Amino acid sequence: MAGKKPNPVDTHVGSRVRLRRMLLGMSQERLGD
C-alpha cells in the first residue's frame, strides 16, 4: 500500500473489520470467564 492513498471504501471496511474483531475479542473474553 506504499505510495497509494487509501480508498474511502478500504478505510471503511478496515474500520468495520477492526470493530468486529474488537467485539469478537470482548465476547470471547466474556465466554472465558
List the grid coordinates of 1: 500500500
Judged against a pLDDT cut of 70, whether residue 28 lies above it is answered with yes
Tell me the average pLDDT of the chain.
81
List the grid coordinates of 13: 471496511
> Could you report how far apart the first and last alpha carbons of the chain are, in Å?
39
Give the whole-angstrom CA distance, residue 23 versus residue 19.
6
pLDDT band with cut points at 50, 70 and 90 for residue 6: confident
Judged against a pLDDT cut of 80, whether residue 27 lies above it is answered with no
List the grid coordinates of 29: 473474553
- The pLDDT score that the predictor gives to residue 16 is 92
Give the whole-angstrom CA distance, residue 21 versus residue 2.
25
- The pLDDT score that the predictor gives to residue 32 is 65
pLDDT band with cut points at 50, 70 and 90 for residue 29: confident
